[in-house]
Amino acid sequence: MKKHNIFTTAFSVVYPLYLTKVEKKGRTKEEVDSIVFWLTGYDAKGLKKVLDEKIDFQTFFENAPKFNPNASRIKGVICGHRVEDIEDKLMQKIRYLDKMVDELAKGKPLQKIFRD
């Protein structure tokens, strides 16, 4: 089975797109980073390394220090797919992140985005 292109795309390519999306709506880089930290367990140093070394999405999630067990509470549609129904686990993790960034851009408070 062919790997999806996003799996081999560097996280550093998509990260600025996340920032642009939320900053246009008055949200901040710090809020995007806090979403990344919550979902993956990376910290600022780890995220900087991912970005500097142009690590791809597959490696980004495989090496995530602690993928948040509450991520399964993320529900809804992103890119025309219900995140809870995505069978490929890597694609589901990518879409969880997309969904959280999307919610941030739509003005949802971080406390609600985190679903703790």
User: What's the pLDDT tens digit per position in 100-111?
Assistant: 999 999 999 999
Which residues lie below 8 Å from residue 57, measured CB to CB, with a gap of 6+?
Answer: 6, 7, 8, 9, 10, 11, 14, 90, 94
Mean pLDDT, the chain, as a whole number? 95
Which pTM was predicted? Answer: 0.94
Please report, for the chain, the start and end positions of each structural domain, with discontinuous segments joined by +: 7-110
Tokens 């495989």 belong to residue: 62
User: What's the pLDDT tens digit per position in 46-90?
Assistant: 999 999 999 999 999 999 999 999 999 999 999 888 999 999 999
Q: How far apart are CA 3 and CA 73, in angstroms?
A: 26
Domain 7-110 fold: Helicase, Ruva Protein; domain 3 (1.10.8)
